[in-house]
Chain A
Amino acid sequence: MKARRIRVNGFTDIPRLMPRLNIATLPDFFILYESLNKSIPSNEIIAKMERVLTALEESVADALSQPNKTESGMIAGGASLLQQYSAAGGSLLGSAFSQVICNAMAVAEHNACMGRIVAAPTAGSCGVLPGALLTVAKLHKIPRERVLRSLFVAGGIGEIISIRASLSGSTHGCQAENGSASAMSAAAIAALFVDDLSTIESAAAFGLKNLLGLTCDPVGGLVELPCVKRNVVAAVNAVACAEMALAGIKTVIPLDEVIDAMAAIGNSIPSTLRETSQGGLAVTETAQRITAAMRGKQ
């Protein structure tokens, strides 16, 4: 079939379309998807993703190069403390696990400090993908080309979430940002090791399911608290979900239905808990004190 454009409504469309497009893997599907829909040759699409991968790698390196601290005092060099603690032998589960935690936190803190990051899918969840995916890829010495291809899986899962629901905290709460980032990262990690669609789908479904219901209630409207530590949780969750899927555990609820559930939950979250900073953590006594102090500096 010579397609002019590719439209998908959900993940379930993909296995149906792949044989008709003569495509064998999910990365190839999303490369063609982007190439046809944007009328850009596939080699340019791949070159563009190469720049995204480089920016992801640089975001980790930049973020780890110095302690990241913000004026509000809510971000106070957490990743640096993690590095020191791990180096001193404090790591609870070994250096790989500590690196996932530390790298996710470092990039999220770097973002809060006006560092250069990749908003994948959003700036508030930018630590998840580099923290989880790049750390696992490095540990297992995955060839760079395979890591690059896995980014198309991450992007493709995010695209499907954006088609059926939203990637925005103001629409569906934090589940749409860190939940989506975790689903994208879990799927990409699975795709480092296998091409099997159901394994990748399960990884993504687990990633999102585990973070359903998360609200967006940032203190002072800033991308700091609870955002930064949520990145850590979402990254750890992504690794756990990928490992479950790679072990052969299948999702009972298909990914598309999980995404629909996320949208339905998001729609029932009151607006006070959707990035307006009018509820939850943002209106606690301490949060109000920090918010007032920040306003005073304006």
Chain B
Amino acid sequence: MGIFDVMGPVMIGPSSSHTAGAARLGYMARLIYGKPIKKVQITLYNSFAETYHGHGTDLAVVGGLLGLPVDSPQLRNALTIAEAQGIRYTFVWKQDLAQHPNTVKFLFYDVDNEGGSESSGSSNGSGNESGHAFPAPPFSITGNSIGGGNVRIVEINGHRVDYSGYHDVLMITYQDLPGMIGFIGDTLGTRNINIAYMSLARDAVEASAMAFLKLDAPCPPECAAKLRANPNVFSVITINKLGDGV
């Protein structure tokens, strides 16, 4: 741990796992989604579903989605603020023993795309081929609150990940072709950005793959643009590591 893991976090009560952790998961989901939130379905699992009311878990999760840090007194008014900002949220409660006791799943819906034919944004994992008549699938993120306010994002758009906010992150989905890893490594390497950790996952159905990278420095917009410009790259998401108080 560390001295400040013991002497903190400074947070809105009552529970580090059910309130602060929940807020942090919402905050991280907001960063990962990376677009203005219009409509989101929030599923609370297991212990989160059983005791969310008394712990303010619902307020904390929505507050995090609004970008509020874990010590913001505004967390208490998160639902009202979200409504005022026109964010449509719905809650679902589930028991699923396969999930961690404190799990939340977010499904972000691109409202413009509901039943329509517009393309989703470039950061949406559904791809960049526009013109299809089906609504884009929701952007999905799952996270666990693992104790003491610490959290872990475990799933993004069906891909398993392990992200706790301590690194700068780069997530890329791309056509599963030889040489793509080399391209990603070169693009970062020429900008002197070191890769601390990297995992790959392949989607057999869509022939797409996802690379999840933890970096020793943030991936700047120019670098992300360079990656995005590759015709075999579908989406690029960058997340900067969380600072103090989040």
By CB atoms of chain B within 10 A, which of A33, A34, A223 has the most? A223
| Inter-chain contact A118/B6, CB cutoff 8 Å | no
Given A114-B76, A122-B16, A123-B13, are A297 and B7 also a contact pair (CB < 8 Å)? Answer: no
A158 with B7, Cβ < 8 A, contacts A170-B147, A298-B52 known: yes
The answer to whether A83 has its CB under 8 Å from any CB of chain B is no
With A111-B13, A159-B1 known as contacts, the answer to whether A49 contacts B7 (CB < 8 A) is: yes
- Which stretch, B53-61, B129-137, B175-183, B226-234, touches the partner chain A? B53-61
Q: Is B117 an interface residue (CB 8 A)?
A: no
The answer on a CB contact under 8 Å between B51 and A222 is: yes
Inter-chain contacts of A152 with B (CB < 8 A): 3
The answer for the CA separation of A288 and B73 in the assembled complex, in Å, is 31
Verify if B14 is at the interface (C-beta below 8 Å from A). Answer: yes
Interface size on A, residues (CB 8 A): 52
Cβ-defined partner of A221 (8 Å) among B9, B11, B51: B51
A48-B4, A155-B6 given; A72·B16 CB < 8 A:
no
Chain B residues near A116: list those with CB within 8 A: 10-13, 71, 73
Which residue of A38, A52, A151, A294 contacts B54 across the interface (Cβ within 8 Å)?
A294
B7 pairs with A155, CB closer than 8 A: yes
Rank and list the top 9 A-B pairs by shortest CB-CB distance, nearest first: A111-B13, A158-B6, A155-B3, A223-B14, A221-B51, A222-B54, A155-B7, A55-B10, A298-B53
Name 14 extra pairs, CB < 8 A, besides A112-B14, A116-B71, A154-B7: A33-B3, A45-B3, A49-B4, A51-B10, A71-B54, A72-B54, A114-B19, A120-B6, A123-B15, A123-B19, A159-B5, A163-B1, A294-B53, A298-B52
Write 12 A-B pairs (CB below 8 A) sorted by A numbering. A34-B4, A111-B14, A112-B13, A112-B14, A116-B13, A117-B12, A118-B7, A118-B8, A118-B11, A170-B147, A223-B14, A297-B53
